[in-house]
Structure 1
Amino acid sequence: MKATVNWREGLVFDATSGSGHGVTMDGNKVDAASPMELVLMAAGGCSSVDVVSILEKARQQVSGVRCEVNGERADAVPAVFTKVHLHFVVSGHNVAEKHVERAVALSADKYCSVAKMLEASVTITHSYSIEEE
């Protein structure tokens, strides 16, 4: 897996993945998300992929999954994440709580590569809620 990051101007950078997809980053958070914000988004995205896949395999009638990610950072430099919490809001029709609980647990304990990588130095917690449609 590869990526390239090119400086545009100021603290703005354009990144391109090995598969050809791009994203812009801004250290000042003016023109784009910062690299640290992208880390949170990556954790939420990775876990969300797992949760949706697992719920679909369980034949749950899911119409939406939102992952609200909150991160706390150290006060000192480097301001690494110390805690990350992922809260999944699953919406659908007759979605069984046991399936959502299992999907979130499997993502956290087994499948999400981003969260597994972070957990070596970050306390990661998970929660969920279900909204009936």
Structure 2
Amino acid sequence: MSIHNVTTTWKGKMQFESTNSSGETVLINAGEENGGEGAGLRPKAMMLSALAGCSGLDVASLIEKMKLEVEDFKIETSANLTEEHPKIYDQVTVEYHFYGANLNEAKLQRAVDLSVEKYCGVMEMFRKFATVEVKTFFHK
């Protein structure tokens, strides 16, 4: 079993600084409409970033292992936020965009599928509370 630790410290008003065990930090802040100053990421947006980052790391590793030619790669996530408190994401769309002149679409799709179905723990966590739709786009 592995334990992950993060320390989150109040910086005043509606801002926090979250630090991982490697010493890396991220600012968390509420939007102006909720008393924040807009600096830093919102907690729910960080969840979408974690989802994209987890899967993206899987796919990037597989791109390297499969020796695939990819000029650029990005993941766009969008989510539906429920109206009632506690407001949660109930539907999430994850779009993988690959750019390049010599894309091997079949192998890239396999890399996405492996991440989504086998490797990405954050994706599996999201499935516990939301419907997750995955789309892949190839741009040549």
Band of TM-score, shorter chain: over 0.9
Report how many residues are paired. Answer: 132
Separation in structure 1 between the aligned mates of residue 119 and residue 71 of structure 2, nearest angstrom: 22
Unpaired runs of 5+ residues, structure 1, are: none
C-alpha deviation, 1:91, in angstroms: 1.3
Separation in structure 1 between the aligned mates of residue 73 and residue 58 of structure 2, nearest angstrom: 11
Residue 88 of structure 1 corresponds to which residue in structure 2?
A: 96
Say which of 97, 102, 110 aligns to 2:118.
110
1:1-133 to structure 2, matched below 5 A, reads 1-28=4-31, 30-132=38-140
Q: If each structure's strand is expressed as a fraction of its own residues, which one has the higher value?
A: 1
Unpaired runs of 5+ residues, structure 2, are: 33-37
- Alignment-mate amino acid for residue 126 of structure 2: L
- Alignment-mate amino acid for residue 25 of structure 1: I
Aligned residues with identical type, % of pairs: 27
- Say which SS state the counterpart of residue 61 (structure 1) adopts: coil
Which runs of structure 1 show a deviation greater than 4 angstroms over 4 or more consecutive aligned residues?
none
Separation in structure 1 between the aligned mates of residue 10 and residue 111 of structure 2, nearest angstrom: 39
Over the aligned positions, Cα root-mean-square deviation in angstroms equals 1.1
C-alpha deviation, 1:117, in angstroms: 1.1
C-alpha deviation, 1:93, in angstroms: 3.1
C-alpha deviation, 1:100, in angstroms: 1.6
TM-score (norm 2): 0.89
- Alignment-mate amino acid for residue 26 of structure 2: V
- Alignment-mate amino acid for residue 59 of structure 1: K
C-alpha deviation, 1:53, in angstroms: 1.2
Q: Is the CA contact (8 Å cut-off) linking 1:54 and 1:103 kept in structure 2?
A: yes
